[in-house]
Amino acid sequence: MAPQAELIFQAAGLSNDWLNIPDGLNDLFLQAYDEGARIHTNSWGTEDEKKYGNYTSESQIVDDFLWNHPDMVILFAAGNCGIYGSNTVLAPGTAKNSITVGTSENDRPDKGNNADNINDIASFSSRGFTDDNRIKPDVVAPGTYIISTRSSKASRTMGLGNYDANTHYTYGGGTSMSTPIVAGMVALIRQHYLQNENITPTAALIKATLINGAVNLSHPLNNQGWGRVDIENSLFPKSPGIMQYHDNICLSTSGSWNIRYYSDNPFEPLRVTLVWTDYPAAVFTGTTLVNDLDLIVTGPDGDYTGNGGDSINNVEQVELLFPVSGTYNITVKGTNIPQGPQPFALVISGPVNSYSDWKEEWMGDNSEEGQIVTTSELQDAIHHWLNDIPVRRYIMSTSDLQEIITAWLSS
């Protein structure tokens, strides 16, 4: 998945095959962080049924560490308790700021009905929602009949069956397999931002990028989260779609941030995803969200709110499957931020251009003095604003039109 990534291993196993996770999870994360790791993947969780879906002290530690180390991504397996129904996500995967991973099916039809449909959720994958109705898991990834390394000490019968092509490997399954797959994708997303965008991304931006490109499997949110991860769709949406991002923007209570985009293809989806690393909450609290931001997308046909209006999750999304051509105002509001200022990340994908890009493109193509342009030639650029132009139905030069369009663009 990420063959050039450097790894840090932290041993947590005992001779009796049980895990021995340190009481102070902060020390576990800090050791890796100090060694240079910025991605921490965890294929474990509490199996105490009384804590299914709970925001525990371990969940709080995860959120606290990520609040204080905003460039660190921590992933957790959702758990394999889905056969017990909803509200079965294991702590610390109930943390707000982690990326919690469930399991979708692999494509190995010869292995039976747990690997015969890539658009299905594995029956064992733990389901949300959390106790306070947050969306968990965040995403899903294949986790049935995954080829994985086999310990030299392990029997060949270990796992889900032999991988005959190489005895050093075996078939494994569970959210413990799905989680490191997503961790590898996170590494590639982080590398993309470092090398291609020349920025050090926050964990919020990485999470927003991952979620924004996820594929909806048409399962309930508490089963699939935001969908199955798809790194190509996250970073390089199919043409004419593009991906744009904004990172580490801070808001206080009653503050707002706004940007305008122009969409010109009603047959390609427009998706906007807002993520923020939230302040840690009190354990076993009724509502874990501390700082509340809200996403509002205003288009030619009205307003759309993140998650349909949300004061529970620190991930919000607006998706328009058939966006009406025209201008879209994207606003992030600081509704209530008692522990601020609150940084956030925003990812937009679809057939969009920022207003400044559109302005430069149009003016660049039509900047020659006296060049003849008809109003019909302008329709693709200005659409429904055409009716606001005080002159129409006859030939005009760009010098006549420049002042009108410049004033309109800046309004």
* pLDDT tens figures, 96-135: 999 999 999 999 988 888 889 999 999 999 999 999 999 9
Cα–Cα dist 342/67, whole Å: 10
pLDDT exceeds cutoff 50 at 366: no
- Tokens found for residue 140: 């899903």
18-70 residue pLDDT tens? 777 777 899 999 999 999 999 999 999 987 888 899 999 999 999 999 999 99
Statement: residue 397 has pLDDT above 90? no
Is residue 101 within 8 A of residue 116, CB to CB? The reply is no
CA gap 357, 41 in Å, rounded: 38
User: Binning pLDDT at 50, 70 and 90, where does residue 4 land?
Assistant: confident
Which is more confident, 390 or 166? 166
Q: Looking at domain 25-224, which CATH architecture does it have?
A: 3-Layer(aba) Sandwich (3.40)
Q: Could you give the residue ranges of the DSSP H alpha helices within 78-149?
A: none
In terms of Cβ atoms closer than 10 Å to its own Cβ (0-12, 13-18, 19+), residue 157 is exposed
More confident residue, 157 or 146: 146
The predicted structure's pLDDT at residue 411 = 52
Residue 370's pLDDT band, with cuts at 50, 70 and 90, is: very low
Q: Which residue has the tokens 């576990």?
A: 28
For residues 348 and 114, which has the higher predicted lDDT (pLDDT)?
348
Q: For residue 399, what pLDDT is reported?
A: 57
Could you tell me which residues come within 8 angstroms of residue 176 by beta carbon, excluding any fewer than 6 positions away? 43, 44, 77, 80, 143
Lowest-confidence pick of 165-169, 189-193, 373-377, 383-387: 383-387
pLDDT band at 368 (very low <50, low <70, confident <90, very high): very low
What is the rounded average pLDDT for all residues in the chain?
87
11-25, 59-73, 242-256, 304-318: segment of lowest average pLDDT:
11-25
| In the chain, % of residues over pLDDT 90 | 66
Number of H helices, E strands in the chain: 9, 18
Question: Hey, which residues does 292 pair with through a beta bridge?
Answer: 336
Backbone torsions φ then ψ of 31, nearest 5 degrees: -60, -45
25-224 and 239-354 in the same fold: no
pTM for the structure as a whole: 0.86
Q: Render the burial of 25-58: b for 16+ CB within 10 Å, e for the rest.
A: beebbeebbeeebbbbbbbbbbeeeebbbbbbeb
CATH architecture group of domain 239-354? Sandwich (2.60)
| pLDDT score, position 409 | 55
**High-pLDDT (> 70) share of the chain, %:** 85
The pLDDT value recorded for residue 361 is 44
CB 189 within 8 A of CB 176: no
Q: What confidence category does residue 363 fall into, taking pLDDT thresholds of 50, 70 and 90?
A: very low
Token pair of 43 as six digits: 């294929």
For the packed helices 203-212 and 175-196, what is the interaxial angle rounded to 10 degrees? 110
At residue 364, the pLDDT reads: 46
Closest alpha carbon to 363 in 406, 392, 393: 406
Q: Are 56 and 283 in contact (CB under 8 A)?
A: yes
* Phi, psi dihedrals of residue 148, rounded to the nearest 5°: -135, 160
Domain ranges of the chain: 25-224, 239-354, 366-410
Which of 234, 245, 259 minimizes the C-alpha distance to 332?
Answer: 259
